[in-house]
Structure 1
Amino acid sequence: MKRIIITSNDVMFLMGKSESYAQRLIKSIRDAYGKKKHQPISIRLFCDYMDLSYEEVFNTVNGIKDQSA
């Protein structure tokens, strides 16, 4: 099954930043989209907020290798 939710560990890996940075970023995304603390952040919301390619982030989080290479 493929994941559609992003975690602070995923953000740490993707951005190469600290855990506290990742947690603050997820909190900022929650605030921007009006999500409550218990509501998860989807990869799509993360990508929209950070202006990143959904497919690239989704594939990286789910460990899918690039098919075009």
Structure 2
Amino acid sequence: MKTLCLFGADVAKITGRSERYGNMILSQIRKKNGKPRGHCVTLREVCEHLDICYEDAERVCY
């Protein structure tokens, strides 16, 4: 099932790193985009931040 918001575990699955690293990436994205703590971060925002292909990340994530 596709979700709109990503969590640290989702970013960890995409990058192959730890969940803590995924949470750090989400925090950086929120700060860069001026979003408050806990606000939704989308797959597209993660892909832009990490400079990776959206389609590849979507395949891994879903």
TM-score with structure 1 setting the length: 0.77
Higher strand share: 1
Distance in 1 (CA, whole Å) between partners of 2:8 and 2:20 is: 9
Task: Structure 1: state its 5+ residue gaps.
Answer: 63-69
Give the unaligned 5+ runs of structure 2.
none
Partner of 1:51: 51
Structure 1 CA distance, aligned partners of 2:52 and 2:24?
A: 18
Q: Partner amino acid for 2:7?
A: T
Pairs aligned (count): 62
Identity of aligned residues (%): 27
Q: Deviations over 1:2-60 (max 9, x none)?
A: 22322110111111212221111110111011111131100000011111111111122
User: 1:30-45 to 2 correspondence within 5 Å?
Assistant: 30-45=30-45
Greater helix proportion: 2
RMSD over aligned CA atoms reads: 1.4
The list of structure 1 runs, each at least 4 consecutive aligned residues, that deviate by more than 4 angstroms after superposition, is: none
